[in-house]
Structure 1
Amino acid sequence: MIGSARQVAGGGFGWFSIIRLGAVQASIGAIVMLATSLLNRVMVVEYALVAAIPAGLVAWHYAVQLTRPLWGHGSDMGRRRTPWVIGGVFLLGLGGLLAVSATVMIADDFGLGLALAIFAFTMIGAGVGAGGTSLLALLASGVAPQRRAAAAAVTWIMMVAGIVISAGVAGALLDPFSPQRLAMVATGVVVVAFAVCVIAMFRLEANAPRLERAEPSGPAPDFMAAIREIFQEQEARRFTAFIFVSMLAYSMQDLILEPFAGLVFNMTPGESTSLAGTQHGGVLAGMIIAGVGGSAFAARMPVELRTWIVAGCMGSALALCGLAVAAQVGEGWPLVANVFALGFCNGVFAVASIGAMMGLAGSGENTREGIRMGVWGASQAIAFGTGGLLGAVGVDVARRVQGQDGAAFQLIFAAEAALFLVAAYLAVRAASTRTRAQAELVGVG
């Protein structure tokens, strides 16, 4: 058998170890929430900055994550990924605290405060890239195939939980607002998150039972050789395109759903926030269903998680078509049910995609999991940064041109639905490439 075909016979991380890795994801989510959500509100509301400033900083932290392949390759070259995970989370936490200091400084010295904020968000993007990519690579190399969908579900559900818990606690402790209280709350979030990360990673990698598999056929190549190997593979190219298009569609709704609820359905801020909570509840439900179902049927599915990915993308497209209709119908449309369905289908395709990503990460002849996860993580980061911006700008332009709120949102929701259909097509093509490759392997063997 060729070295690139890694067949797992047993071993790998057990469920308790997977939960510990999920706790690390929760730590990353908690600190990212501090930087991209809490500080966004503080800059705009408490310090009366234009919304473009925090939006630009968030977009910059995604741009910095283009370095993910470099971080992944670095963890591939070392013998352990734990230092990369802990080091990345430390860098992320330090960047979060500097971002808080920069936010307070902007009120007194705008230029110096903004420069410090840009530096801080550079650290945040690099920390997410180093810690998050190495963590995913560790999951990909240490989880047996039949557990990958469930492992992806567990880690992502815990990440969402980390965001929700830290947001709730920080929000409760932040009132009444003052710069000193902001600094104390942020420090508490970072210290607790980093401590959880260190405790969760303690001896985890060293004590894990090893998977029995065929190793790559040669030593790890240098960075550019590894990149060339990945993009010479048709399956890897198609999967990269799928990740970009699906995450572009996924993120376009982030900044426009609540304004849509307010402008078209006359919802109050509290009601629209509750609607966003309904969407997140749907995402969690979809993740659980895909995690359980993907693991239960993985052994019998000829193309692994393709069915779940395609179903999630098609369902998301259908739910977005429903929102496009709702933009014209207005009040009376079952908006809450529609938004829950959208979240549910988003959760299904997201977890199935991550499970498939973990499987493909170990398919290289010479390249390791780290750099492959880095390439797909960079694709995802570009899509997230671009998608949120395109959705918001697209609605603004459409509202100005068409002069109708409903028609403007309808256009953007329809465009998102079309992107999800393209993503489903790309997922099918990527899976068909793998099926042909496996058939050729069987023929050779």
Structure 2
Amino acid sequence: MSLKSSVAITAGKTSHWFLHKFTNGGTSLPGKITLAIDPDVLKSLAKDYEIVIITGTNGKTLTTALTVKVLGEKYSNILTNPSGSNMKQGIVSAFLTAQKTKSGKKLAVLETDEANVPIISQYISPSIYVMTNLFRDQMDRYGEIYTTYDKILKGINMHPDALVIANGDAPIFNSRELKNKVIYYGFDDKADREQMAPANTDSLLCPKCQHILHYKNRSYSNLGKYYCPNCDFKRPKLSYRMNRILSQSPQSSTFEIDNTTISLHIGGTYNIYNALAAYAVGNELGVSPQQIAHALSSNDEKVFGRQEVIKIGDKELTLVLIKNPVGLDQVLDMIKTDTEPFSLAVLLNANYADGIDTSWIWDGSFESLPFDKIPAILTGGERYRDITFRLRVAGVPEENFSQEEKLPDVLENIKKMPTKHIYVLATYTAVLQLRKLLSEQGYIKGGMD
């Protein structure tokens, strides 16, 4: 290790200690300080690790958390970035805080922002890349999904010996030939039935001949058993498959992966995909199906705004991140399965980390909500006027509707809602702001982390 790297790492670790001791923060700032001294420091920090990179539009954070749990059944030295700080500085911070170990394989499971995959790949040598999905998201930053995929592939192409584990139900991940070995996971839980996706769905054209893709079964959006009726393009052979859904609720899903039963204590069809990706990584790294099922079925998956349940007095607040139309619709579908009345708050910000364009809220199907069993609906966040207008257009009854400009007022309103269970849907920086406020009031620990 060079003197520059040693100085940079010492400075970063010192800043992390100070920030965590006195501010309860320090997720990415130590990485920024370290990189300012030595921009190449990640090479030194990561050199002794076997690395898994997890990327994609939706599901990165939970897939990373589930993968760490699965690998924890066999390995004890696992580093990760659990708070969703997934750009270069956040990943450097994760390595800075790693505990020293004397023996055993050292693994790093890193959630990585799509645009940062090629940046990170310059400095480390991953053994596995995991791709969850690609949907329209932060168009001001990423552009169309094909542009985003080019960025991911730029990183993967630097490491042709790495294994690629991709969502086989997403047509885009089968659209390019790679030098890498690629294995796929997906859903095989329904009988074949000829169908097409809705016309406004992403990525519906065959990458070979530009004909509209058809489906033999479909889970949501453009994900499913696709094929082109005009050429030979079709879903690739799956190495890992979810073959049966046994039950679903907003709080849980029970399903089978390759005939192994798993009870995931978090709701949503989209989260079954996340569990399937974690299953694939675990199996490829030598964790048995029984060990994987044990890890995925334990009751502590809810992390950092991903269906995190927070008790506020006699209320149970379920905090869910939303950031694009496909993810939003999956969240709405999930909460609609609740058999009891619930209240709802939607917090909209439009900072850089959220995406500054809020037009995506108009593509979400708020109209499908069962307003007759939602006695209280609240809007808030820095762009509360935008989401208020959207929900009024969706048909929210005025007698059940309120709006608050300031976050402390939002929280006070939530405390007074008439139902025990409250869903709070929030964009990324709104999640951070609300968690900080909840931490200050003693409802959670950590706030920003």
Instruction: Sort the TM-score into its range (normalised by shorter chain).
Output: under 0.3
- TM-score normalised per structure 2: 0.23
- TM-score normalised per structure 1: 0.23
Point out the structure with the larger strand share.
2
Looking at both structures, which has the greater relative contact order when contacts are Cα pairs under 8 Å and sequence separation is at least 6?
A: 1
